[in-house]
Structure 1
Amino acid sequence: MKKLLLLGIIVALSFAVNAQVVTDPVTFPISLRYFNAEKQSANSTVLRWLAPCQTTEARFDVESSTDSRNFTTIYSVTADQERCFQPFQFTDSRLVNSKTFYRIKLITPANVSVYSYIIPVITKGAGFELNSLWPSQVNSSAILNFSSGNDERVDFAITDLNGRVIQMFTQQTKAGNHQFSLDCSNYRGGYYIIKAVNSKKEIRTLRFQKL
């Protein structure tokens, strides 16, 4: 029977799958070390990832979407364990929308699969997005991934569910995808919201849990 797990900010790390409850997908035998996207031209983007595996081989399906919900596989590669310890790269030369969303499906020989977090690629001037916080259940620190279509200032605020501000900071960004480390070691356990506001006063939010 095919099994499906999900990892990333979009879902929690404990949920029902095929009448089974997966409580620790962190032990999944394919480890996604990084996944990023770099726009090369008006209609092409380079995707890069590294995902060492503990299985004999692994398959990687690169999927794209124009609405972040309905995805189509645009590239697939199967690699043995030795090859999985080397970086992968794929160029999508068919960009036609102001925003294109990407994710990778990691698949074991037993046909158990995990989805990566979603990365949007934004055409210049097309706004900005909070992509993911990895992991979404945070022990001490996590990586925040966001994208901007312009060179601009982005103001961030982290609040608890009662609206109390825990932390504020600003990032002066260039157009493209960005990642930075978020230190949550002094946060109490519970749920928090990241709020980002760009120079056009557009607002994006992301929710995460501090363990």
Structure 2
Amino acid sequence: MDKSAENDDGGLRERKRRATRASICTIARELTASSGLSGFTIEELCERVGISRRTFFNYFPSKEDAVLGHAEDAHLPEDLVADFLAGAGEVPLLEALRTFAQHSGERLALTREELAQLHAVMQREPEILARFFGESIEREREFAALIARRERMEPTDPRALLAAHVMRHIAWVSTHEFLSIDAPQNYRDILNTNIDAAGYLFR
């Protein structure tokens, strides 16, 4: 088999894997929104998706993880981290943060409907909401440490902590606007507008 065929096969497997993962998350959220987290079993979820129980656990360790969809998103993407660090001393921090936030959001690739569904799940299940915020705070700490590393600061430098906190809040506000507005607007455009506003305030 030549190299191109191998790459095609690998790309097809990856697309199928992502499609299966997305289907698990979508159905898990649908079931949770309609019946609650305790209102369905993993077996029922698997039947809806068309996979085996064993396949489910290859993707997620629990129903909660399937709803949140964090099994592959628990850490900052290595390639985005590398690009973020590589621009130190050349790319201003705010622009580096903008690029990181844009690419991170694009990788999640959630539609307005999917975000609304996840929001409905969190309103119904306090456990999911609490875990979401707990993971968000942990991700913020991880991001603050990355900012400190790029800017050659101490890990607990208040400037790095504040930058990470501001970016998390901007992402939250942008998501809220994306869900609330009537006119169709790209999430990336909303994010850029809010980052520009932050840049104006701190300029």
| TM-score normalised by L of structure 1 | 0.26
Between Structure 1 and Structure 2, whose CA radius of gyration is higher? 2
From the two aligned structures, give the one with the greater helix fraction. Answer: 2
TM-score by length of 2: 0.27
Higher strand fraction (1 or 2)? 1
